[in-house]
Structure 1
Amino acid sequence: MKEAVSQSLFNYWNDLRGDRPAPKRFEIEPSAIAHHLPDTFILERADYATLPFRLAGTRISEAFGMELRGKNLLGLFNERDSEILQRQMSLITSQAAVGVFEISAHDGKGHATAFEVTILPLVHTRDVVERYLGSVAPIDRPQWLGLVPLPHRSLVRHKLIWPNGTAASEIEAIDRQTPFYPTVREARIVKSARRQFRVYEGGLSRVHTER
């Protein structure tokens, strides 16, 4: 994570979860992140391919020139990028990982900029991840941002941060623990741009990589 908003939100989420894989939705206090609320959002997991925005900060909506509440996250991207996001969100959900994405957005007329998007899992009414706290932070902040709609979006790079601290060199060789077993606090980045993970359900999920 490079952007201050992403780092601040991650640190808040990480402190809040303690030794758990993820905090509960009702534990999030808006007043604790008041300074970043215009840049934050809440996603809901309706089903595997439907992730609507329940809330979206004003600076996010202004940056993209559209009201995001109720829109499906996966529907904001082309089919290829949507499939990648769907796989990443599946891992964020099943393994309580944290997703960090860089996206590019433009208007097709010469206005273009990049954003860092962070997605953090939240446990909702059951002991499963059904909500997500996130942020959208412009990597550069051009003067026209918020005045020019950016209807074209693409995924540039992405990575996952694992709350259980499994190192990248280990991930291909071992079975990952399930997310609701005891974990340690340190997070390690084990996902880099364009490498994909496949999760096979049943017992302890085994994670394989695809290039």
Structure 2
Amino acid sequence: MIDPVSQTLFAYWNRLRGDRLAPKRFEIEPSAIAAFLPDTFILERIDARTIRFRLAGTRISEAFGVDFRGVNLFDLFEPGDRSTLQREMTLITAEGAVGVFQIGAESATGYSVAFEFLVLPLTHTGSSIERFLGSCTPLERPCWLGDVPLTRRKLVSHSVVWPDGRPTSEDLVALSHRQTPFLPTIREARIVKSDRRQFRVYDGGLHRRQED
């Protein structure tokens, strides 16, 4: 995470989480993140191929020229990126991981800017992950942003973070009765330190991708 909004939102989510897999949706207090609400969103998982926006901040909608409420996240991307994103969201759902994505967005007239897209898992009525809190923030803010719709989107890089380290096989067996099954892959880890805590980060997919 390199954007201050992402870092602050992650720290807030992690405090609420404590020693649990994820905090509950109703624990999120808009007043606690009021300064960042225009850059945040809530996603609802319907199934492995449908994760739709329930809420999207005004700065997100203005940047892309779209009201994202009700839109399936995966429909915003071309088939190759869509498949990668579906795989990563399945992993986030199954293991309570945190997703950090970089998205390149471009207008029909050639204007472009990169966004950091953060996904934080939430539980809802039960103990399984059915909601996601997140932020979508530009890594720079050109003067035209918000006036020129960004209609093309491409997944540039993607990483997954386990705040307490990746769950062991025993942990996953214990979670299997309430989490979506997944297929494990062996990935090379790198160490990231943030706010006096240390995380193991695994690049998404079976090949190493560009790192932030």
TM tier relative to shorter chain: 0.7 to 0.9
TM-score, normalising length: structure 2: 0.84
User: How many Å apart are 1:164 and its aligned residue?
Assistant: 2.5
Q: Matches of residues 51-200 of structure 1 in structure 2 within 5 Å?
A: 51-166=51-166, 175=169, 177-178=171-172, 188-192=199-203, 195-196=204-205
SS in 2 for 1:52: strand
Output the CA distance in 1 between the equivalents of 2:93 and 2:60: 23
CA contact (8 A) 1:105 1:114 kept: yes
SS in 1 for 2:47: coil
User: How many Å apart are 1:110 and its aligned residue?
Assistant: 2.0
Residue segments in structure 2 that go unaligned for 5+ positions in a row: 177-195, 208-212
How many residues are paired up? 187
CA contact (8 A) 1:44 1:51 kept: yes
Amino acid at match of 2:109: K
User: How many Å apart are 1:163 and its aligned residue?
Assistant: 2.5
1:188-207 CA-to-partner distances (Å, cap 9, x unmatched) read: 24222xx41xxxxxxxxxxx
Q: What percentage of aligned pairs have identical amino acids?
A: 56
| Map of 1:6 onto structure 2 | 6
Output the CA distance in 1 between the equivalents of 2:31 and 2:10: 16
User: How many Å apart are 1:5 and its aligned residue?
Assistant: 0.4
Output the CA distance in 2 between the equivalents of 1:120 and 1:10: 7
TM-score, normalising length: structure 1: 0.84
User: How many Å apart are 1:109 and its aligned residue?
Assistant: 1.6
SS in 2 for 1:51: strand
1:76-135 CA-to-partner distances (Å, cap 9, x unmatched) read: 000000000000000110000000000000013220000000000000001100000000
SS in 1 for 2:114: strand
| Map of 2:46 onto structure 1 | 46
